[in-house]
Amino acid sequence: MHSNRAVPAHAPFHLEPNFSYSVDSPMPSLLYCVTQPSPAVSVAAGVIEAAVSSRELLGVRVYWSDVGDPEALLGEPESLKKAALQFHQVLREVLAVTTPIPFRFPTLLESAESFEQHLAPEQEPYRQALERIGNAVQYEIVGTWADEQQADLATPVSGREYLKRRQEALGRVAAVESKLKAVTADSVREWRARQERKNHRWFALVPRDNRERFIASLRTAGASQGVRLRLSGPWPPSEFVIPRNSHG
């Protein structure tokens, strides 16, 4: 099982970067995440080397940077890419101490004075999610099958053939999932999964104290024929923010 430190591409709650700005406006603020009120994590620098601040608000702790020049952040694709890497580095530093719920990047507000107005509608979901998740973290396992990677999805197939392939794919996914859950039963609080076009993603919510046991358990699973499993993490538990019974 290979390790891949890829950055996750999504987060559950976000505020759209919809604001006007002029030189006379208060300094815009880029939001990183919310956490439990304590502990407060000290992070030296964030996007475009701006200082990272935090404060307790509405029962959570909010992390942000004041951005003097939004164009330096959003103006060019390369600038945006660099800022995204710096954003996720802040999340990693926070995650090393406590569990964050990240905002979608880039989430910009007109100023720090507007935090309460924008956070108030989501304050209860945030508090509930942080309480439910506790100090757990997320791991991700991506499964790819060699024959599916090589399949030509543009070639038409009959309805019967499609159903046959779909049934086979569901069976292979179920077999891998059963093995993963069996070997990690004593280290994972909850599993979630998502099917994508040519791969399947599993997400494990793992208490911090169980991280080494979880990884050691996966090594005992052995290889599954025809499938490559790639492990990454720990990550902020974005897939677990919304309660399971709220999906769909």
Domain count, the chain: 2
pLDDT at 121: 87
pLDDT at 161: 61
Q: Domain limits at 213?
A: 136-246
- The residue among 14 and 155 whose pLDDT is bigger is 155
Q: For the whole model, what pTM was predicted?
A: 0.77
Residues with Cβ < 8 Å from 66, sequence gap 6 or more? 27, 28, 29, 50, 51, 53, 111, 112
- The residue among 47 and 114 whose pLDDT is bigger is 47
pLDDT of residue 165 exceeding 70, the answer is no
The helix (H) or strand (E) run that includes residue 74 is: helix 70-74
The neighbour count for residue 32, using CB atoms within 10 Å, is 26
Same domain, 25 and 54: yes
pLDDT at 119: 86
Which of 100, 133, 166 is the last residue in one of the domains? 133
Same domain, 172 and 225: yes
CATH number at residue 142: 3.30.70
Same domain, 195 and 143: yes
